[in-house]
Structure 1
Amino acid sequence: MFFGAVQLGIMAACVVLFVPMGMAGWHLSRNKVLFFSGALFITLAVCIHLIPYFPSFFPQTPPVLFQQDPGNSCISSLNDVAFRSDSDGFSWNWDNSSSGSYYCDFQKLGRADVSDLLNGSWVVVAGDSQARLFMVALLELVLGADEMESIHDDLFKRHSDYHIVVEEIGLKLDFLWSPYVTNLTNVVTEFKRNHTYPDVLVMGSGLWHMLHFTNYSDYGVSLQLLRDSLFRSLPVSRKYDMEPDSARALHLFWIGMPTLINGLLNTEEKRVKMTREMCDAYDLELYKSKLLRRDGGSLLLLDVEMLSSKCGADCSSDGMHYNDVVYEASVHVMLNALLIESHQKL
């Protein structure tokens, strides 16, 4: 069957080749250049005609398969969380309707798992009250209820830093009160000056600037300065990979601002300055700064805006700070990102 097809193809090729060439030779014999051009064109046409019959003589480039990197695909789905409320309060889990969540096997980690993952690490959380609530949620996964009660007052001192070492697992945790982006830039610069870097750095800022300055373009400038400082000071490249001379990975995260519920904000100044339009303008400056990984930067977004929006207005008492489950979910987003990026599975 195959040889019959080949013979038929050769016969057809001969007809296509020699008949037109003979006719061209008859009419164009006095113009050798024109005859050669015509013959070359016909020969190329015949070669193309024969390719399907002799594939082994004409190597073909294999088709390019555009496959998503499972790790990157899962990273992009980490914030796909759903909330529900019942008589016991609010609860959360990953949204099974999300294709990424379904295939990525995200996990809610218990105390033992978190201890294993963060064993011997240094974690720094820097920012405003949203960052402090994130720190509280992280500590609640690491410490027992009695330990949390003993540190509660120190942890919630307004406008103050907090430091703790969990001796059993060699985990060092620092919260650095940094309400403005300029404070975050100073934090990064200090790491460079001391030549010491945390394993995990979680940052977030914006609410204080929106309230006290209400100037989104100035906020954008400070974000760009932070981005430049990160590239100069920390051992990460513009592709959030490690530099060749760096001994270990540095994981960077950005705590997004929450969804603000204007009618619930507890002062008139907040209701006037912290509008939906102003929030959108601040979000646009964050995008333009190229600070986040999704925009070409180095920091993975912990999307508190999305999480708080899904939890809803009943999940907030003051339109700005949300129920514990929102920050617990954002902590698990970070922990699962660490599992993915360190190629671990509990």
Structure 2
Amino acid sequence: MFEAVPFGLLAAGTVLFVPMGMAGWHLSRNKMLFFSCALFITLAVGVHLTPFFPSISNFLYKPSSISVSSLPTGTTSSSMIRDSCTFSLHSVVMYKSNYSECVDDAIDSNSDSGCKRMSWKWTQSGSVAECGFQKLKKPDVSVLLNGSWVIVAGDSQARLMVVSLLELVMGPEGMKKIRGDLFKRHSDYSTTVDEIGMKLDFMWAPYVRNLTNLMLEFKENKDYPDVILMGAGLWDMLHVNNATEYGISLSALKDLVLALLPVFRNTDSIDKGASESAWIRSRHLFWLGIPALISSMLNTVEKREKMNDVMCNAYDDEVSRTKLLRQSGGPLLKLDIRWLTELCGPQCTVDGMHYDGIVYDAAVQIMLNALLLESNQTR
């Protein structure tokens, strides 16, 4: 903006001093007036036409650099920066833990079991470092999820996400009390963390059609969770093994999710006369990707035959093609478990499908930092 000021001063000086100089050269008054008027009109027309010539406008109005903290919430630049950080959430590295990290983990969890073989962190490249991602601890998570209703729906991968989330919120001792109920085979599980008023429901939903039915229930009951984390694919890959049919199911799911937005948290609590502006569009929707499958470690012949890299790629392609993910313009933000499990590698799994807690811990932290970004909260 300020680059245009010298240009304006130059134009004003031209209109004022050039005619005076001409008068000094003893030109006739009529010629001087004619030149002055012509110059003034030319400059006036030029000023009005400048916006229609981008190259000139860009030269005159160069945007200044603005820090993230100085941007008001809701501005276009702020949204662009937030989206950039959202899509940098998976910029992590994994490495073998050292002694000090094991000690820190044990202190944080009040248990020797806190020491893990692998550790992870966000990369410190310029753009990622500027986003300020942090591994949130219990006090921060308690504030972030205070009073929230969280739904996690899917297969065993989703159940492992619940374990990591609840360990973070309740601590290892709290998890010991509920682990048996949580891991009842192919069953739902619900709990309330009274300390922060957070309700968490795990829905056993190994097929996409199960997720579709869940979305229909939300629509029928007109009551919607604050956070929805869902994902399915492994069971379909094993028992159906048809990527095209999987894509058709994903398209139906996407249409239902979009139909639920915008929504009220609970329509029964809203006055019937509420204005249209009271509607909100929840963006706390996550898709749990399938893990990297190590065929040689899978425990049945059928799994080794059907759950190979070719089929995994085909299923991932269907997720992208159907535009279910926000990365491709859809409603759900992907938690890329395949990427995280590939980073961790074979040393992090005993069956080629289910991985050590470090993978799901990282995925939970990515989700929580995404919630911070979407909520416009700073740390």
Provide the TM-score with structure 2 as the length reference. Answer: 0.73
TM-superposed CA distance for 1:323, in Å, is 1.0
Aligned to 1:95: 123
- Separation in structure 2 between the aligned mates of residue 94 and residue 253 of structure 1, nearest angstrom: 20
- 1:320 is matched with which residue? 353
Equivalent in 142, 149, 153 of residue 180 of structure 2: 153
Q: 1:111 to 1:162 in 2, by over 3 A?
A: same
Q: 1:285 to 1:54 in 2, by over 3 A?
A: same
Match of 2:96 among 85, 100, 105: 85
Separation of aligned partners in 2, 1:94 and 1:56: 54
Larger Rg: 1
Structure 1: unaligned runs, 5 residues or longer:
12-49, 237-242
Please show how residues 7-26 of structure 1 align to structure 2 within 5 Å: none
The corresponding residue for 1:138 is 165
How far, CA to CA, are the matches of 2:283 and 2:178 in structure 1? Answer: 28
Question: What is the CA distance between 1:135 and its match in structure 2?
Answer: 0.8
Per-residue CA deviation, residues 272-322 of structure 1 (Å, 9 max, x unaligned), is 001111111111111111110111110001111111111112111111111
Report if aligned partners of 1:201, 1:250 keep a CA contact under 8 Å in 2. no
In the alignment of these two chains, the number of paired residues is: 301
Written as runs of structure 1 = structure 2, the 5 A alignment for 1:196-215 is 196-215=223-242
Work out whether residues 133 and 327 of structure 1, in 8 Å CA contact, stay in contact via their aligned partners in 2. yes
- Which residue of the partner structure matches residue 344 of structure 2? 311
Question: Is the alpha carbon distance of 1:267 and 1:100 closer, same or farther for their aligned partners in structure 2, counting shifts above 3 Å?
Answer: farther
- Three-state SS of the structure 2 residue aligned to 1:210 is helix
- Residue 37 of structure 1 corresponds to which residue in structure 2? none
Q: 1:70 to 1:252 in 2, by over 3 A?
A: same
**1:332–1:184 Cα change, 3 Å:** same
Identity of aligned residues (%): 51
Q: State whether structure 2 residue 184 is matched by structure 1 residue 184.
A: no
Aligned equivalents of 1:113, 1:56: Cα separation in 2 = 58
The one-letter amino acid paired with 1:179 is: P
Aligned to 2:85: 74
Q: TM-score, normalised by structure 1?
A: 0.80
The equivalent of 1:299 in structure 2 is 332
Q: Aligned-pair distance for 1:244?
A: 4.2
Where structure 2 has 5 or more consecutive residues not aligned to the other structure, the ranges are 1-9, 23-38, 52-56, 64-75, 99-115, 264-275
Task: Please give the secondary structure, in 2, of the residue aligned with 1:58.
Answer: helix
Note if contact 1:197-1:234 (Cα within 8 Å) is conserved in structure 2: no
Q: 1:201 corresponds to which letter in structure 2?
A: I
- Of the candidates 141, 151, 163, which is equivalent to residue 190 of structure 2? 163
Deviations 1:90-119 (A, max 9, x none): 11111223x432110001101011000000
What secondary structure sits across from 1:172 in the alignment?
strand
Pairwise CA distance, 1:267: 1.2
**Which residue number corresponds to residue 45 of structure 1?**
none
1:280 aligns with 2:310: no
Q: Highest relative contact order (Cα 8 Å, sep 6+), 1 or 2?
A: 1
Can you list the C-alpha shifts for 1:220-241, whole angstroms capped at 9, x where unaligned? 00000101111223436xxxxx
Work out the CA distance in 1 between the residues paired with 2:134 and 2:44. 49
